[in-house]
């Protein structure tokens, strides 16, 4: 079921009515559980995919039960085995040279698997470290299969989930809050149904147009439409989705974390990731960046290269998580390099400028504007690699560069 | 937009009228999206 559909609007209305008709905690949990199962069934998964999903949830829950008593090596191996299963289930293209084609040619399609993996790994680490106690099977299934976060996040932490899950029985919010929750949900639908749809239409036309022989000014105009429309489409589509689920959550006494904060106004790549898909960034920071950084410092000692290297690895992995093809590796590479350069630049500033001068530098409106402009263009460039055939992306870049050269030549 | 929403939500009847109107507009939009989805003339793209 698309969250931007009449069906989802009706579904949310019915679930909200049933939810508030039941005052008790147990009854409300049952309503949400049934709603999540109905939502999952609406994707019409075949029996084999359902069995694979059940196996994934069973194995990961068993791992969580083992984690507090098992050795550190066992926990690492359990996590690695689940990641390996995820890579096979998502058919990552680099596995084609390592595994038999039959294994990767499976017909299984698991809705929301990437997000389930992140939620599981977070739980595995936190349960192992004793930050989270035992996780019952019903809590785990409710957490993993919640219709509010199943398809595309946000990646809610288990403790935050429990905070809402344990207080579902609190009284119905005042009418003003209910109306504002509906407003948020409806705004999300407008973002997806109207704005992102129109932008994707522009993108598709401009992408085709940027490959045709034409005078350089016309080609550059089409290239600019191609360059800017996809990032704008992605923002409206994904932030619209977040608006819908955050609004639906508020109607059901469920608090979900925010995922966007005006990302295209970021001053640098690290700032961009603090504003774009915020819950993913926090996950990557806590479980990849901090872990790899601490591990490196413990073994190699402090070094100015460790921070940029750890950031590079973290953002490369963030890129790879988005999809199974080399498109996403390139996306991650651009962001990894951008963030590493960002860190090195910060380090140089720290060494060359004293604190007051650094503050003045950071607050300078021209520098802020230039930094925001440069970051926006690096981000838009990285999103060129997100959709479609890479050969066509490079062909469009070549066409645009040739057009610029021809224009410069005729002007000279 | 935030300032507009703050103004709308100052009075309950104003907020109610705004959200009901917006809901009606969204329902019309979703009906159009659904109706145009399979037409060759208009391609409707929605990821979510």
Same domain, A268 and A404: yes
Domain limits at A352?
263-411
Q: What is the pLDDT of residues A261-312, one digit of tens each?
A: 999 999 999 999 999 999 999 999 998 888 888 888 888 888 778 888 889 9
Question: What's chain A's Rg over C-alpha atoms?
Answer: 24
- What is the rounded distance in angstroms from the CA atom of residue A170 to the CA atom of residue A347? 49
A190 and A308 inside one domain: no
ipTM: 0.84
Final residue of a domain: which of A201, A230, A251? Answer: A251
Residues A298 and A361 in one domain: yes
A151, A186, A241 ranked by CB distance to B23: nearest: A186
Counting residues of chain A whose pLDDT is more than 90, the rounded percentage is: 52
- Inside any domain, residue A35: no
- pLDDT tens by residue, A224-249: 999 999 999 999 999 999 999 999 99
Q: Residue A275 has what pLDDT?
A: 95
> Hey, is the C-beta of A208 within 8 angstroms of any chain B C-beta?
no
- Domain co-membership, A391 together with A366: yes
What is the pTM assigned to this prediction?
Answer: 0.89
Residues of chain B with Cβ-Cβ distance to A182 below 8 Å are 19, 23
Cis amide prior to A154 (ω within 30 degrees)? yes
pLDDT at A289: 86
Distance CA A226, CA A388 (A): 13
- For residues A131-146, give the mean pLDDT: 92
Q: How confident is the model at residue B41 (pLDDT cuts 50, 70, 90)?
A: very low
User: Which one is predicted more confidently, A263 or A326?
Assistant: A263
Tally of domains in chain A: 3
Q: How far apart are CA A234 and CA A237, in angstroms?
A: 5
Looking at the structure, tell me whether residues A208 and A129 fall in a common domain.
no
Same domain, A157 and A182: no
Query: How do residues A161-217 score in pLDDT, each as one tens digit?
Result: 999 999 888 777 888 999 999 999 999 999 998 899 889 889 988 888 888 888 888
Of A412 and A146, more confident:
A146
Residue B1 C-alpha, separation from nearest chain A C-alpha, in angstroms: 11
In a domain, A258, yes or no: no
Co-location of A208 and A305 in the same domain: no
Decide if pLDDT at A351 tops 70. Answer: yes
Indicate whether A131 and A192 sit together in one domain: no
From chain B, which residues contact A within 8 Å (Cβ)? 5, 9, 12, 15-16, 18-19, 22-23, 25-27, 29-31, 33-34, 43-48
């Amino acid at each position: 079921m698309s969250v931007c559909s009449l069906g989802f609007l009706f579904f949310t209305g019915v679930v909200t009515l049933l939810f508030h008709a039941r005052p008790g905690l147990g009854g409300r949990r049952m309503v949400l559980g049934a709603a999540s199962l109905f939502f999952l069934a609406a994707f019409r998964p075949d029996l084999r995919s359902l069995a694979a999903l059940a196996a994934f949830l069973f194995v990961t829950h068993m791992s969580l039960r083992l984690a507090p008593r098992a050795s550190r090596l066992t926990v690492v191996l359990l996590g690695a085995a689940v990641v390996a299963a995820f890579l096979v289930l998502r058919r990552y293209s680099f596995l084609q040279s390592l595994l038999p084609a039959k294994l990767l040619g499976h017909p299984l399609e698991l809705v929301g698997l990437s997000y389930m993996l992140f939620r599981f790994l977070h739980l595995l680490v936190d349960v192992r470290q004793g930050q989270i106690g035992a996780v019952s099977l019903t809590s785990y299934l409710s957490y993993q299969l919640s219709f509010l976060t199943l398809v595309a996040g946000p990646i809610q932490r288990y403790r935050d989930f429990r905070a809402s899950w344990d207080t579902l029985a609190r009284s119905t919010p005042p009418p003003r809050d209910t109306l504002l929750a509906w407003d948020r949900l409806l705004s999300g639908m407008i973002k997806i149904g109207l704005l992102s749809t129109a932008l994707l239409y522009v993108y598709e036309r401009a992408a085709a147009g940027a490959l045709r022989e034409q005078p350089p000014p016309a080609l550059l105009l089409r290239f600019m439409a191609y360059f800017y429309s996809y990032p704008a489409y992605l923002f409206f589509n994904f932030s619209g989705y977040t608006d819908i689920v955050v609004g639906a959550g508020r109607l059901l006494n469920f608090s979900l974390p925010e995922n966007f904060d005006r990302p295209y106004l970021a001053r640098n790549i690290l700032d961009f990731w603090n504003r774009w898909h915020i819950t993913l960034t926090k996950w990557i920071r806590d479980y990849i960046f901090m872990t790899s950084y601490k591990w490196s410092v413990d073994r190699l000692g402090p070094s100015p290269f460790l921070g940029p290297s750890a950031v590079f690895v973290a953002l490369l992995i963030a890129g790879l998580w988005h999809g199974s093809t080399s498109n996403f590796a390139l996306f991650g590479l651009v962001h990894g390099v951008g963030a590493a350069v960002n860190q090195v630049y910060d380090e140089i500033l720290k060494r060359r400028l004293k604190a007051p001068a650094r503050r003045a530098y950071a607050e300078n409106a021209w520098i802020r504007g230039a930094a925001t402009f440069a970051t926006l263009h690096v981000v838009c460039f990285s999103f060129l690699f997100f959709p479609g055939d890479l050969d066509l992306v490079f062909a469009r870049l070549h066409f645009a560069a040739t057009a610029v050269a021809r224009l410069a030549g005729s002007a000279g | 937009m935030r300032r507009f929403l703050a103004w709308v939500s100052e009075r309950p009847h104003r907020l109610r009228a705004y959200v009901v109107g917006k809901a009606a507009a969204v329902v019309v939009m979703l009906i159009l999206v659904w109706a145009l989805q399979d037409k060759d003339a208009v391609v409707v793209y929605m990821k979510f």
